[in-house]
Chain A
Amino acid sequence: MTVTVARVEPSIAGVGDYIELMKPRVMSLVVFTALVGLLIAPGHVHPVIGLTALLCIAVGAGAAGALNMWYDADIDARMARTAARPIPAGRLAPGEALAFGLTLATGAVVVLGLLVSVFAAVLLALTIAFYVVIYTMWLKRTTPQNIVIGGAAGALPPIIGWTAVTGSFAVEPLLLFLIIFFWTPPHFWALSLYRTEDYARAGIPMLPVVAGPSETRRQILLYTLFLAPLGAAPWILGYAGPSYGITALVTGAVMIALAFRVRAEGRGQMANKHLASKQMFAFSILYLFLLFAMLLVDRMSGGLFGQIFGQIFGDVSSHFAA
């Protein structure tokens, strides 16, 4: 029997290519949301342990990104947005990305489990597995609900941050999970509206490809109408102060207004074909960032804004009482 072994050229992959595999921009949002989960959790965590947890979550997210790029190299090559990634561009062999991703994933989970919390480590392992196996390998190529269900992976980091401190679970991080979970579909569908041809060429069943742009615009509006009050829920349920509440209500109203514009755009009522979708995509990132940043400001200032508001409203009510 003759075994043919393909000659493998020595690698020309640089450090930058490996960093690109880790999807640094996605990683930054993951680290930020995990940081918020970590800082708003009750109890004290030593800064070194907190930083270790964040490092592990960041590396875990990077591992998931690398494994995603390893598996999706064929579709990435067919899409303009992703054709320049290290594997389709030929700077890095698929095997290198696979080995890199598996090494990082194992390292991140083991270190998080050894130094911080076993529960958090199990959640990190589940998040990576969910993103790579359930989303990338299965849902992404089979159903237009791919990003809806797959969004759970991106929504888990605040819960991991929370459990890194408490070692347990609560309603508050669940709210943060739900906010990111319901934010993901309108965010990605807004993008897919002006990248429909790209997705169709790559054979990915994104909602605009399968159900058409008009149905996508309707779904964006429905999800946004649900998302805006959900964004204000931490304030309504008393987990955050009025500064957070006002931010959530105002930015939520802008999100709804943009979703209506996206809907109107589909009826040909706008001059620029995809302006509203692009605005929606860009603002959705700012929206999520602002919500989490305000939650952090609110908690870090020790509810200072709440105290000021409470003082003002207390004065007013006592004035009327007198």
Chain B
Amino acid sequence: MTMSDAMNGKKPPTGIRLTEQQQRARRARSIAIAVSLGVLVVLFYIVTLVKGPGVLERPL
């Protein structure tokens, strides 16, 4: 932190700071989770269309 930052009242960043590689990996994982959840939503939607109102009727 420079003297001018201190005078302007800026605080130094605290907590965990991710490296470039960690940020890239997290972003890729987040996208993969989003895609998986999207697939699940679409799957339930299509199965509802296919089965009609008795969506939860199934063989034992």
A-side residues, CB < 8 A to B, are: 10-15, 18, 46, 48-49, 52, 55, 107, 111, 114-119, 166-168
Contact = CB atoms under 8 A, between A and B. Distances in A.
A48 B47 contact: yes
15 contacts: A15-B31, A18-B29, A18-B32, A46-B50, A48-B47, A49-B47, A52-B47, A115-B58, A116-B58, A117-B59, A117-B60, A119-B59, A119-B60, A166-B59, A167-B59
Nearest to A104: B36
A118 B58 CA distance: 8
B59 A12 contact: no
Nearest to A165: B59
A117 B19 CA distance: 46
Contacts of A115: 43-44, 47, 55, 58
Interface of B: 16, 18-19, 21-22, 25-26, 28-29, 31-32, 40, 43-44, 46-47, 50-51, 55-56, 58-60
Given A15-B29, A18-B32, A49-B47, A10 B22 contact: yes
Interface residue SS majority, chain A? helix
A46 B26 CA distance: 38
A173 to B, nearest CB: 15
Contact of A118 (B22, B47, B60): B60
Interface residue SS majority, chain B? helix
A170 to B, nearest CB: 13
Of B22, B29, B58, the most chain A CB neighbours within 10 A belong to B58
A107 B47 CA distance: 16
A111 B41 CA distance: 11
Contacts of B26: 10-11
A14 B59 contact: no
Contacts of B59: 117, 119, 166-168
Contact of A15 (B28, B58, B60): B28
Nearest to B18: A10
A126 to B, nearest CB: 15
A44 B8 CA distance: 73
A166 B29 CA distance: 37
B4 to A, nearest CB: 31
B31 to A, nearest CB: 8
Contacts of B47: 48-49, 52, 115
A49 B50 contact: yes
A309 B32 CA distance: 51
A115 B58 CA distance: 7
Contact of B29 (A13, A55, A167): A13
Nearest to B35: A15
